[in-house]
Amino acid sequence: MHRRNAFTLIELLVVVSIIALLIGILLPSLSQARRQAKSVLCQTRLRELSHGWHMYADENNDVAVPGRMAKVSGGTSNPANWYDVGNGKKYRPRWVATMGQQVGVFAFNDPSTSDDRQDYDSQVYQCPQVPTWIDERNYAYGYNLQFLGNSRKSNGQFHNYPVNRSRIRNFASTVLGGDCMGTAAGFAKHDRKPYQAKVNGMAQLGNHGWTLDPPRLTETSDRGTGDAGSSRTGVDPRHGGKANIVYCDGHVESQTPRALGYRLDETEAFVDLNIDPMDRPTNRWFSGTGRDDNPPDLPSA
């Protein structure tokens, strides 16, 4: 008689258990590898776009890119509010579209002179970790506009514009922009709402994410949307607890909010000024001087 070559039930269970154990060991590593790959791609895209910051200043008498082109009367109907973004005119483009135009990476397939909430079309403008955050207002990447170029106006005066590139003492230690969660940063983590492109809620992740407030704000500084009562914005540590940040020299680093000078309370809301003088937020990486300077005051009447 021939003996049958077959696994017993016990042997099959042992094999299944080993396979399950191996999957359990490998899955976290694969997940981490995917997250790391997305972070590296995000850094590459930020670095590519950032080259346009210097190119813009070179062509505009040393003036740095404003967070958004200044508004004049007439709104979308006034051609003075239309700007070239490389493949057409756009109504008051934000910083990233202006930089992208400089390096030949156009933000929109069909730029609009009547729409200020267009989605970015080029993949270079997407953060791979949050690929749906492409509304040009509720956006994934924020600009250090308070120190580098804030063309909002109060009492007929710019908040901080124009800013000459030459005032930046050290490009390598001055934040240009990076991962931003928008005005949701001012809320406790459990109160933040999921991202929605065309929603205006302060607690919504990504709301006004194109602006990146520095860590330390004052009662007389701008913040968030620029409107009275606005919540503040802050970096988004979406890459394994770290945010990708591009500096004015074009290099990109993945850093924690604390390393960038931010401070969070026990609810993980970003604070403006910690009462502990030994551990308060600091603007040294945002100011352009290497000091913990106050953000510019809002213009007075």
- Distance CA(107)–CA(127), nearest Å, equals 14
In 168-262, where do the E strands start and end? 175-179, 243-247, 252-255
Say if residue 240's pLDDT is above 90. yes
Say if residue 1's pLDDT is above 80. no
Beta carbons of 185 and 269 less than 8 angstroms apart: yes
Helix 95-102 and helix 9-59, axial crossing angle in degrees, nearest 10: 80
- Report CA torsion sign: 75, 79, 82, 83: negative
Write the Ramachandran bin of 216: left for phi over 0, alpha for psi from -120 to 50, otherwise beta. Answer: beta
Query: Mean pLDDT over residues 258-284, rounded?
Result: 92
At 88 the pLDDT is 97
At 3 the pLDDT is 55
Helix (H) or strand (E) holding 15: helix 9-59
Helix (H) or strand (E) holding 58: helix 9-59
Say if residue 282's pLDDT is above 60. yes
- Report CA torsion sign: 193, 268, 67, 249: negative
Q: At 64, which amino acid appears?
A: A
* Per-residue model confidence as pLDDT tens digits over 178-190: 999 999 999 999 9
Q: How many contiguous H segments (helices) and E segments (strands) does the chain have?
A: 3, 8
Query: CB-based contacts of 146: which residues, under 8 Å, 6+ apart?
Result: 159, 160, 213, 214, 221, 222, 286, 295, 296
Q: What percentage of residues in the chain have a pLDDT greater than 90?
A: 83
Query: CB-based contacts of 235: which residues, under 8 Å, 6+ apart?
Result: 142, 178, 179, 180, 181, 185, 212, 243, 245, 257, 260, 262
Query: Mean pLDDT over residues 95-111, rounded?
Result: 97
Say if residue 232's pLDDT is above 70. yes
* Per-residue model confidence as pLDDT tens digits over 68-80: 999 999 999 999 9
At 8 the pLDDT is 75
Domain coordinates in residue numbering, the chain: 34-73+119-255
Per-residue CA distances from 105 to 50, 98, 229 (Å): 11, 10, 36
Q: What is the dihedral of CA 184, 188, 194, 197, to 10 degrees?
A: -10
Nearest to 178 by CA among 209, 222, 134: 209
CA 109 to chain centre: 22
- Distance CA(185)–CA(213), nearest Å, equals 10
Query: Mean pLDDT over residues 210-228, rounded?
Result: 96
Query: Mean pLDDT over residues 115-138, rounded?
Result: 97
- Distance CA(77)–CA(60), nearest Å, equals 25
What is the CB neighbour count within 10 angstroms for residue 59? 10
